[in-house]
């Protein structure tokens, strides 16, 4: 396993679209939403263990979730959990992690990914990320993973790519488009040169810090000031003040949409961003009338179809005459 490879898992979101199971105090990345026996962040961590050494995995999360991360990933040490004092989108989170890792190993290559996505084909994912890390290091470029779209979905951003390639597999990115309307999404699918933006990024440390210096210089200067402080007991105090000086901006908008050396790897490893209950329904195991029930032992359905059900496993639930409903119970709250 390459000691120069690092993984940064972004786990700071509050998962508001999964209410009532996901609350600000205990958001979706720390919940076993799919009934697999592991939470989303635990599954993400396990995937990266196949790619990078365990001491090279970092979690960036809200300071208030630090204890949750420790509970669910007890093998991490304090230095591997990066606490954000305030939510400022993904650019400050990436800047912090990359500057910190740069002080340990300026020759590193980093994969940055959300903590709460579903990936079914782990083997292909591992191969894609490993190839991307190798090429990012070799060519000093910024890489993103693009998912071959199966339908015109308005819930995802899109990446358009050209025929110009790096190493045959990595295509030069032409444009990034935020979530389009349905008509535009259909046009993208028909054109054949658009991919879903999975929000998974790979780069060499040199390339990403150069991009920060060029496109987000003020933010870069803020985190650069901490170079003597990272990986010391003073780090958390420094980050407290650093974050309040940062603008609220995504890495997509701040850097990826502007940089010249951006490439995309078209792939498909059974990906879903698990953004809503509808997306869990899409990938869930359905019964013969289209119901997805998690867990299924004590739920009895009469004359009900195409429903998404997630209820406490000890509770007997009987549903009759429902079609196309979401029924979720958690935290003493029932949502229908």
Mean pLDDT score across all residues of the chain? 95
Helix (H, G, I), strand (E, B) or coil at 146: strand
**Count of C-beta atoms within a 10 Å radius of residue 1:** 11
Q: For residue 75, is pLDDT > 90?
A: yes
Pairing type for strands 194-204 and 142-147 reads antiparallel
Could you identify the residue written with the tokens 């679209």? 17
181-220 pLDDT, tens per residue? 999 999 999 999 999 999 999 999 999 999 999 999 999 9
Do 110 and 160 sit in the same domain of this protein? yes
Cα 318 to Cα 30: distance, rounded to the nearest angstrom: 28
The pLDDT score that the predictor gives to residue 53 is: 97
Residue 265 reports pLDDT greater than 80:
yes
Residues 186 and 294 in one domain: no
Whether 45 and 115 map to the same domain: the answer is: yes
For residues 100 and 230, is the Cβ–Cβ distance under 8 A? yes
pLDDT(234) > 80: yes
Whether 275 shows a pLDDT value over 90: the answer reads: no
Q: What is the DSSP letter of 275?
A: -
* Whether residues 301 and 221 fall in one domain: no
The pLDDT value recorded for residue 39 is 96
Q: Are residues 83 and 190 in the same domain?
A: yes
Please check whether residues 289 and 272 belong to one and the same domain: no
The DSSP letter of residue 327 is E
How many Å apart are CA 228 and CA 174, to the nearest integer? 38
Least confident stretch, 91-100, 273-282, 308-317: 273-282
pLDDT of residue 235: 96
Q: What are phi and psi of 234, to 5 degrees?
A: -85, -5
Domain co-membership, 157 together with 228: yes
pLDDT of residue 165: 95
Supply the pTM of this predicted model. Answer: 0.94
- Integer angstrom CA distances of residue 333 from 24, 28, 114: 15, 16, 27
The domain of 216 spans: 5-276
Write down which residue in 276, 296, 312 finishes a domain.
276
Per-residue confidence (pLDDT) for residue 15, from 0 to 100: 82
How confident is residue 54, by pLDDT bands cut at 50, 70 and 90? very high
Which pLDDT does position 279 carry in this prediction?
Answer: 87
Helix/strand number for the chain, H first, E second: 10, 17
Given a cut of 90, is residue 1 above it in pLDDT?
no
Residue 180 CA: distances (Å) to CA of 148, 154, 262, 264: 16, 5, 21, 19
Task: Assess whether 271 and 293 both reside in one domain.
Answer: no
**Structure confidence at residue 63 (pLDDT):** 95
Residues 182 and 308 in one domain: no
Task: Compute the distance between CA of residue 289 and CA of residue 279 in angstroms, rounded to an integer.
Answer: 18
Domain end call among 276, 300, 326:
276
pLDDT in tens, 106-135: 999 999 999 999 999 999 999 999 999 999
Of 286 and 16, which is predicted with more confidence?
Answer: 286
Q: Where are the beta strands (DSSP E) in the chain?
A: 5-10, 57-62, 81-84, 109-114, 118-119, 142-147, 158-166, 170-177, 194-204, 262-267, 271-272, 292-294, 299-302, 308-310, 317-320, 326-330, 333-335
- At 295 the pLDDT is 79
CA distance 155 to 149: 12
In this structure, are 39 and 57 located in the same domain?
yes
Q: What is the share, in percent, of the chain residues with pLDDT greater than 70?
A: 100
Task: Select from 257, 276, 295 the last residue of a domain.
Answer: 276
Question: pLDDT tens-digit profile of 235-255?
Answer: 999 999 999 999 999 999 999
> Residue 14: pLDDT band by 50, 70, 90 thresholds?
confident
pLDDT band of 36, cuts 50, 70, 90: confident
Residues 290 and 180 in one domain: no
Domain count, the chain: 2
Q: Confidence class of residue 5 from pLDDT cuts 50, 70 and 90?
A: very high
């Amino acid at each position: 396993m390459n000691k120069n490879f690092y993984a940064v898992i972004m786990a700071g979101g509050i998962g508001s679209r999964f209410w009532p199971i996901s609350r600000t105090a205990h958001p979706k990345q720390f919940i076993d939403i799919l009934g697999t026996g592991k939470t989303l962040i635990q599954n993400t961590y396990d995937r990266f263990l196949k790619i990078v050494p365990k001491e090279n995995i970092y979690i960036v999360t809200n300071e208030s979730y630090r204890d949750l991360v420790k509970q669910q990933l007890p093998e991490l040490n304090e230095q591997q959990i990066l606490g954000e004092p305030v939510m400022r989108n993904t650019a400050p989170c990436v800047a912090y992690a990359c500057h910190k890792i740069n002080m340990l190993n300026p020759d590193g290559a980093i994969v940055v990914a959300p903590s709460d996505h579903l990936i079914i084909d782990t083997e292909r994912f591992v191969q894609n990320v490993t190839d991307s890390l190798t090429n990012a290091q070799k060519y000093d470029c910024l890489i993103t993973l693009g998912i071959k779209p199966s339908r015109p979905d308005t819930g995802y951003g899109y990446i358009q790519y050209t025929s110009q390639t790096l190493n045959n597999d990595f295509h030069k990115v032409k444009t990034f488009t935020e979530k389009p309307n349905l008509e535009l999404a259909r046009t993208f699918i028909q054109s054949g040169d658009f991919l879903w933006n999975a929000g998974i990024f790979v780069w060499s440390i040199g390339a990403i810090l150069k991009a920060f210096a060029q496109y987000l210089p003020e933010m870069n200067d803020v985190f650069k000031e901490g170079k003597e402080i990272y990986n010391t007991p003073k780090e958390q105090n420094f980050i407290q003040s650093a974050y309040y000086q940062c603008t609220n901006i995504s890495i997509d908008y701040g850097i990826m949409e502007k940089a010249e050396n951006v490439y995309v790897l078209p792939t498909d490893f059974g990906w879903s961003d698990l953004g809503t209950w509808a997306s869990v329904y899409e990938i869930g195991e359905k019964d013969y009338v289209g119901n997805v029930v998690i867990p299924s032992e004590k739920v009895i359905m009469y004359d009900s179809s195409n429903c998404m059900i997630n209820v406490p496993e000890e509770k007997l639930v009987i549903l009759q005459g429902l079609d196309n409903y979401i029924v979720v119970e958690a935290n003493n709250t029932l949502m229908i």
